[in-house]
Amino acid sequence: MTDRGEQTPGNGFRLGLPVGEVLTQAVLDSLEYPFYVIDTHSYQIRLANRAARRAPAGNDVTCYQLAHGRAAPCQDAGHPCPLDTVVRTKQPVTVEHIHRDPAGHRQTMEVHAFPFFDEQGQVAHILEYCIDVGRRRRTERQIRRLNERLEQRVRERTAELGAANERLRLESQRRRRLERDLLEISEREQRRIGQELHDSLGQLLTGVAILTKVLERKLRRQAIPEAGDAKEIASLVNSAVEETRHLSRGLHPVALDENGLMSALESLAEVTQNVFRISCVFRCRQAVPVRDASMALHLYRIAQEAVTNAIRHGQTRHIQIELSAPASRALLTITSDGRRFEEWPTDHKGIGLQMMRHRAEMIDGTLEVQPGPDGGTRVACAFDAQVRVNEGETTHGLKDAEQDRTI
């Protein structure tokens, strides 16, 4: 360009000599949208970029010929010519126009028109560029349709996942019911066997012991040497009776009352100490009644399994069983010295721990197995129980609530 023009404040740019420099043309040709400089008097296009040139270049090409394929300027109602609007208002305008492509197809264009003023301040030329909003709208519609299909697919997948989750939930409930039924059947059968041991085998053995004692007395009165053998048989039978009682108590350990768990845990500590010759303490500073017999039985089995594992695999010499209610949830803990849980043989960690966790889940409790504070292992089961605290009360052999019960 030989003249870059002068700027008039508030009135756009004043165009001097015709724009025809090679550099300017190259810059304009780099634009993707059509760009024109239009003479306001003749409607002739004085400058057009590559995107706008769709007819032979020349001074006789007008904007309405090039953009609309018309023989006269646009004067349609509702379709005002942006050039006329800029000349009248001397302000930039943005309007929506229908153009025609070289094949005659309609194009919805967003036309941006700006005034260029001459020396007298009149609009001599119009700078105009056009954006194909039809293509943009088609793209937007395609994006909307894709979004709608995606949202529909998401809704379908969400519904499928919801249905799958519901099936999983129902299956989990069915499995839990089945597991609970199996456990209840097992416990019921154990109670029956325990009762049979106590009522049938225990009574028979007791009868044998009594008859053997009578036989011993008869033999002793007659000074028969075999009286000592009869006494030994009676002693063995009494031992069998005692063992039968222990077996019966192990198969049916928890009494069906709210204090049955405390009594059963106390008995577990006593039997553990007597049988295995180790120190075992049951501690219950405050009474923790458990009114649900099934829950009490699950808690007892957890304690029993933890004690058994500590003796068999933890090489323990001291065990403490504690039942407490420190907060909103009650807590059963079994703490043992000896080896930590991580040091147990790998093949002894699976089934026992799995059964304890399963029993905890059956009562909506949580089970944690951690290293003990001074080594060894600590098994803790937290559970919800209707707790009534009566300080100082004595129930089922428990001492005052503020004292520990050491067997």
Domain boundaries, the chain: 6-137, 257-406
* CB-count burial class (<10 Å; 0-12, 13-18, 19+) for 316: buried
Give phi and psi for 18, each to the nearest 5.
-55, 140
The predicted structure's pLDDT at residue 252 = 61
Contacts of 406 (CB under 8 A, 6+ apart): 281, 282
CA dist 282 → 126, 193, 266, 319 (Å): 100, 27, 6, 9
Q: pLDDT class for 406, splitting at 50, 70, 90? A: very low
Angle at 103 between CA 97 and CA 105, to 5 degrees: 40
Give the Cα separation of 205 and 202 in Å (integer): 5
Q: pLDDT class for 1, splitting at 50, 70, 90? A: very low
The predicted structure's pLDDT at residue 165 = 92
| Packing angle, helices 260-276 and 227-251, rounded to 10 | 140
Q: Please report, in angstroms and rounded to a whole number, the separation of the first and last CA atoms in the chain.
A: 110
- Residues recorded for the chain: 407
Contacts of 298 (CB under 8 A, 6+ apart): 183, 359, 360, 362, 363
Is there a shared CATH topology between the 6-137 domain and the 257-406 domain?
no
| Long-range pairs, 20-26, Cβ under 8 A, ≥24 | 20/47, 25/49
pLDDT mean over 378-386: 87
Give the Cα separation of 12 and 86 in Å (integer): 11
Domain range 257-406, CATH class: alpha beta
**Per-residue pLDDT tens for 315-361?**
889 999 999 987 778 999 999 998 877 766 655 556 778 888 888 98
Instruction: Please determine, looking at this structure, whether the domain spanning 6-137 carries the CATH number 1.20.1250.20.
Output: no
pTM > 0.75:
no
Q: pLDDT class for 302, splitting at 50, 70, 90? A: very high
Give the Cα separation of 276 and 19 in Å (integer): 109
Torsion of CA 188, 192, 195, 201, to 10 degrees: -150
Half-sphere exposure of 321 (CA within 13 A, CB side): 31
pLDDT at residue 168 greater than cutoff 80: yes
The predicted structure's pLDDT at residue 318 = 93
